[in-house]
């Protein structure tokens, strides 16, 4: 190749590289879609100050044995509760005493048309009622929860009616359910009501076991699907968690309820409308350190309620 042709080829390569670099730099930025504000944000609840600087709009910590309120923040606010709904779904199912080994098929009716959420349980998948309950409570599987309600004797309307009836029996006056998954923002409750639900659910050994399970495998056709708990704290050895449930839809924000033992006390913790993916867990850690610090320094005696926020 002549010197003139080599020069032309090199020049062409330089131009191509410069063009490609310019194209990369000038690539149009993706449109940033603003997050839909939660009901708590719209009500200004996240601006409420508290002594622990929690990121949750709503918080409530109760001594399960004495019912003493240790910490409260907007605990009477009625908000969407997302997948915390599944605790009531699980409670109704656990008291129904239906065959756990009965096989249930996922149908098109179980597909989420409310939020368009995804699921690894395809239409046509067959799992036992026990497997569906495990997935609904541990990994918040929406199609599993919906299938449980749909196949309840009498169908979904009867199941939802039973959810609301159970709420009435538990004196959950601020609570209303319209479906069993929590995908609807019309499923609403308050922190005080949810504390009653956690207390009742904790009385059921099956619910304690399934909600704190760290992982679970199910066989669907030729595939084995691995599911994990939506709450990473269940794997943390520094936590002693007896029951838990997480939840999230944009209207509800990040939510978390737990029954846990801290500094020798059986506590119920409720966190609603937390900003950020990990902030609800951070709030739980803040509360735990606060209770432990109070117990260790003997600033507050065990029989005296801790008041905050």
Question: How many C-beta atoms surround the C-beta of residue 215 within 10 A?
Answer: 12
Cβ atoms 183, 115 nearer than 8 A:
yes
Q: Is 86 a catalytic residue?
A: yes
Active-site hit among 140, 184, 189, 274: 140
Cβ atoms 272, 81 nearer than 8 A:
yes
Residue 124 backbone dihedrals phi, psi, to 5 degrees: 105, -15
Cα distance between residue 13 and residue 19, in whole Å: 10
Active-site hit among 56, 57, 72, 83: 83
Residue partners of 4: CB distance under 8 A and separation at least 6: none
Residue of 232, 196, 193, 195 whose CA lies nearest to 212: 232
Active-site hit among 86, 166, 196, 245: 86
Cα distance between residue 235 and residue 240, in whole Å: 10
Cβ atoms 64, 268 nearer than 8 A:
yes
Residue 117, token pair as written in the block = 């959420």
Q: Is 238 a catalytic residue?
A: no
Q: Is 279 a catalytic residue?
A: no
Q: Which residues are catalytic?
A: 83, 86, 140
């Amino acid at each position: 190749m002549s010197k003139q042709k080599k020069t032309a080829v090199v020049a062409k390569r330089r131009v191509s590289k410069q063009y490609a670099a310019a194209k990369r730099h000038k690539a149009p930025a993706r449109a940033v879609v603003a997050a839909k504000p939660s009901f708590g944000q719209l009500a200004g609840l996240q601006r409420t100050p508290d002594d622990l600087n929690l990121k949750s709009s709503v918080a409530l910590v109760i001594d399960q044995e004495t019912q003493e309120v240790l910490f409260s923040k907007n605990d009477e606010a009625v908000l969407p509760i997302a997948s915390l709904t599944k605790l009531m779904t699980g409670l109704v199912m656990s008291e129904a005493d239906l065959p756990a080994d009965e096989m249930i098929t996922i149908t098109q009716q179980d597909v989420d048309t409310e939020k368009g959420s995804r699921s690894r349980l395809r239409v046509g998948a067959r799992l036992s009622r026990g497997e569906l309950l495990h997935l609904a409570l541990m990994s918040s599987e929406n199609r599993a929860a919906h299938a449980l309600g749909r196949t309840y004797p009498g169908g979904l309307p009867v199941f939802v009616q039973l959810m609301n009836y159970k709420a009435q029996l538990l004196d959950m006056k601020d609570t209303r359910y319209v479906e069993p998954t929590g995908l609807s923002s019309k499923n609403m409750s308050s922190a005080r009501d949810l504390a009653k639900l956690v207390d009742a659910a904790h009385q059921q050994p099956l619910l304690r076991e399934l909600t704190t399970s760290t992982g679970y495998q199910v066989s669907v056709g030729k595939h084995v699907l691995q599911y994990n708990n939506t709450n990473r704290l269940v794997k943390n050895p520094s936590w002693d968690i007896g029951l838990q449930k997480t939840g999230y839809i944009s209207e509800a924000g990040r939510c978390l309820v737990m029954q846990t033992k801290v500094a020798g006390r059986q506590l119920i913790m409720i966190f609603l409308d937390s900003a950020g993916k990990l902030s609800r867990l951070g709030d739980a850690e803040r509360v735990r350190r606060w209770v432990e610090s109070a117990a260790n320094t003997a600033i507050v005696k065990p029989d005296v309620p801790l008041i905050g926020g």
